[in-house]
Amino acid sequence: MSAHLLTLTHINKSFAEHHQQHPLLKDLSISVNQGEVIALIGASGSGKSTLLNIIAGIELPDTGRVTVEQTVLNQLSEADRTRFRRQQVGFIFQFFNLLPTLSVRENILLPLQLNQLTTDQAFFELLVNSTQIEQLLDRYPDDLSGGEQQRVALCRALIHQPRLVLADEPTGSLDNETADQVFTLLLNIAHQEQQTLIIATHNLQLASQTDRVCRLASGKITEQTLS
């Protein structure tokens, strides 16, 4: 492990409901090393997805700092945050966010196109073969099952080999066997590429395979030991 890649400092975030502000994240601080794999666990509604969105610069904290290496992400303009996320972050969304007008192949390769990068064909084949979607490349998202869409979304998040990968329930739509395969792939690629990987999950068996387990509850984050 090397120096910190990600540091969250005194993060606060509230949401409005019935004209009142309700705190979701409360003075939350954590540092994550380059190459570290972290499982983020917690009850539904505890703020896991919001925290991932803040780390990615999709949402902004009310107060606090999100620092990736030397870049304070929440001090960038929206355009610069988008550019940073496109280049440096792979995000596996809970609800896939595939583009329906693009084929599976085009969805996967989109980050390379946006970043004006050439395709590493060997790495592309590793991803699609490992997730068993090589027969789906010319189909479209609406023709796929939820589990198939999730595997496509995983490939799309990893194809540009980002330094920081954020995964929001990446195995939630998969059967147990496929979930194990996908999780193993995520871990193997993270270790191979020295990626920092943060996975929000309810699956404690999978979470136990990561370097560190952090529980989000009552707006705070604490390290958790899984027996």
CATH of the domain at 162: 3.40.50.300
- Token output for 151: 């595997």
52 lies in a domain? yes
Average pLDDT over residues 89-97: 85
Q: In which band, very low, low, confident or very high, does the pLDDT at 227 lie, cut at 50, 70 and 90?
A: low
149: containing domain = 34-60+76-224
23 lies in a domain? no
Other Cβ atoms within 10 Å of 72 Cβ, number: 12
Distance separating alpha carbons of residues 119 and 7, to the nearest angstrom:
31
1 lies in a domain? no
Number of domains in the chain: 1
pLDDT, residue 183, reads: 86
Pairing label, strands 89-92, 196-200: unpaired
10 lies in a domain? no
pLDDT, residue 1, reads: 43
Q: Give the tens place of pLDDT for each residue, 24-67.
A: 899 999 999 999 999 999 988 889 999 999 999 999 999 999 99
140 lies in a domain? yes
Q: Which residues of 172-206 are buried (b: 16+ CB within 10 A; e: fewer)?
A: bbbeeebbbbbbebbbebbeebebbbbbbbebeeb
25 lies in a domain? no
89 lies in a domain? yes
